[in-house]
Amino acid sequence: MAGVREPTDLTDHGRSTAPSLVLPGPLRVAMVAHALAGFPLEACGLLVGHADGRVVEFHPCANDAQSSKLYTVSPRDMLRVDRAAEDAGLEVVGVMHSHTHTDPYPSPTDVAQAPDPSWHYVIVSLRDDVPMLRSFRIVDGSITEEPVAVTSA
């Protein structure tokens, strides 16, 4: 997508890695738009899809922290999205939030607040003129970047 930078190196020590997060292009656009709309505060939302990393829905959520340095998904939004996902035979598979002035990399606060080791943690950085989207897995305090495959649908 024009207007959103992505990491260009999707390799692991020279070996190609398979996509861990499969994200439809329109949902990527929605995440970036939500991040921009929330500026100067961090924005957040939930990813709904399948356990294999295929995202089919993005749900913008309220940031109860109302902060430019951290986010807290509204518990009301979490419950609403979780119930709707379950009713549709899907599940919440991750969370997106924005970084307003820093790199798209999990902060120590992001790591401490990571609620589920199976989730995908998508960060949209608004630090530069062109937003950058990256995704991570956070397990027991360890951060691993994962490739993102953006599809046309």
Residues 86-135 pLDDT 10s: 999 999 999 999 999 999 999 999 999 998 999 999 999 999 999 999 99
What pLDDT, on a 0 to 100 scale, did the predictor assign at position 35?
98
Domain membership flag for residue 14: no
Domain membership flag for residue 108: yes
Domain membership flag for residue 9: no
What value does the mean pLDDT take over residues 138-145? 95
Residue 3 CB neighbour total at 10 angstroms: 9
Q: Per-residue pLDDT tens for 107-118? A: 999 999 998 999
Is residue 41's pLDDT more than 60? Answer: yes
Domain membership flag for residue 29: no
Domain membership flag for residue 6: no
- pTM: predicted TM-score of the whole model, two decimal places: 0.87
Burial of residue 75 (number of CB atoms within 10 Å: 0-12, 13-18, 19+): exposed
pLDDT band at 5 (very low <50, low <70, confident <90, very high): very low
Residue 98 CB neighbour total at 10 angstroms: 30
Residue 72 CB neighbour total at 10 angstroms: 17
What pLDDT, on a 0 to 100 scale, did the predictor assign at position 14?
38
Count of domains for the chain: 1
Going by their DSSP bridges, the two strands 120-125 and 132-139 should be labelled as antiparallel
Do 121 and 114 form a contact (C-beta atoms < 8 A)? yes
pLDDT band at 143 (very low <50, low <70, confident <90, very high): very high
Domain membership flag for residue 13: no
Domain membership flag for residue 8: no
Do 151 and 28 form a contact (C-beta atoms < 8 A)? no
pLDDT band at 153 (very low <50, low <70, confident <90, very high): confident
Full domain range(s) for residue 108? 39-151
Do 1 and 25 form a contact (C-beta atoms < 8 A)? yes
Domain membership flag for residue 68: yes
Do 134 and 145 form a contact (C-beta atoms < 8 A)? yes
CATH number, position 71? 3.40.140.10
